[in-house]
Chain A
């Protein structure tokens, strides 16, 4: 049954599409810490992250019928919704505005996405491909994805010229795609 303890995220999203609120609650129980972590890392502020996740879950409920399990995982679908909402929050407000509130203490400044990726058996390919990138390209791409930084923010963060950072990210993404698809 969709709302049972062993339902997959895909089954739960499909159940949401049929109006099963318990399925949405189960989805929330299972997935909200991961999604909240994703949003918090980008918006870096507790209440803004909560708003992004709240909005995302409302969208998940309303749009569940549009989820197609044959096109990808429910987690990727939900992560896309949450990430987009969080990135839009950051782009709408300037980061300075958001930074007026203290950073959430659970955001580890020394978080190493590559090490975290290595710990996951399902992501060995992406990990290997990121490792194969030259250091500045890898660093720029990881900062952009995990912290939601724009080109210019990445440039500020790693003290490199904007044009150089754009080129690193561009060439890095091209290499990454070629590698992952090998």
Chain B
């Protein structure tokens, strides 16, 4: 659980930057950072506070061939020019750093796909958690061929006679659109190569009747939510 108390949030952020959290807590923290700007700010402040200590650690010459390895790994073309407004959005760096890192932590295969995809096209990913929870429940990721896939990370399922339904709510929009009812195995493929939800789109999972919402809008409680993040 991510605490509400500002003091407790600060302690957690400090422990995260220090690196003492175990891997499960770190991954959960990463998931929370994607949707919690206040927490991101606290992490950033801790990094600044402790930076002199990082600078105090003795420098060591890296292996002589390391630059050649880096150069060989660089993508052939220049990085895509970005909208400068995006670059000034303070949270982008954390969204990227922890967005992609969270993914890498959650699945090696997924990490590979991000590494492979990122030089050419931005990876898009969302980690869905229960409100105020640290536990990542679902992950949404753009597939290399286009479209998205939702996968269950923790085996959450609907109670008997109900179903979980996935929704997208674009920034500024008032009504979510349905992306489909989640099959019992927790895996749902949706969208295609042209389906391009804007960055910051919220993904929500609500509890619905067995065949999905009869109204085209969520009728039950929102159990899990996350935000779509671009890592490129």
A contact residues vs B (CB 8 Å cutoff)? 16-19, 21, 24-25, 28, 32-34, 36-38, 40-42, 46, 49-50, 53-54, 57-58, 61-68, 71-73, 75-77, 79-81, 83-84, 87-88, 91-92, 104, 106, 108, 111, 113, 116-117, 119-120, 122-123, 126-127, 141-142, 144-146, 148-152, 154, 169-170, 173-174, 176-177, 180
Contact = CB atoms under 8 A, between A and B. Distances in A.
B10 interface: yes
B26 A68 contact: no
Interface in B75-108: 75, 78-79, 81-82, 86-88, 90, 92-93, 96-97, 101, 104-105
Contacts of A113: 53, 56-57
Given A68-B87, A144-B20, A173-B15, A17 B52 contact: no
Contact of A28 (B59, B70, B101): B70
A180 B52 CA distance: 12
B62 A53 contact: yes
Interface of B: 7, 10-11, 14-15, 18-23, 26, 44, 46-63, 66-67, 69-71, 73-75, 78-79, 81-82, 86-88, 90, 92-93, 96-97, 101, 104-105, 118-119, 232
Contact of A145 (B19, B66, B119): B19
B23 A65 contact: no
A76 B101 contact: no
Contact of B59 (A33, A62, A87, A145): A33
Nearest to A33: B59
A122 B104 CA distance: 35
Given A68-B87, A92-B23, A145-B18, A76 B58 contact: no
Contacts of B19: 42, 83, 87, 144-145, 148-150
Contacts, number: 196
B79 A19 contact: yes
A127 B51 CA distance: 12
A79 B51 contact: yes
B63 A33 contact: no
Nearest to A140: B20
A88 B90 contact: no
B60 A145 contact: no
A50 B60 CA distance: 11
Contacts of A180: 49
Nearest to A19: B78
Contacts of A87: 19, 26
Contacts of A16: 79
A174 B14 CA distance: 9
A144 B59 CA distance: 18
A87 B2 CA distance: 21
21 contacts: A17-B87, A21-B71, A36-B62, A37-B58, A49-B62, A58-B74, A66-B87, A72-B47, A76-B51, A80-B97, A83-B19, A87-B26, A117-B56, A126-B50, A144-B18, A148-B19, A149-B19, A169-B15, A170-B11, A173-B14, A173-B15
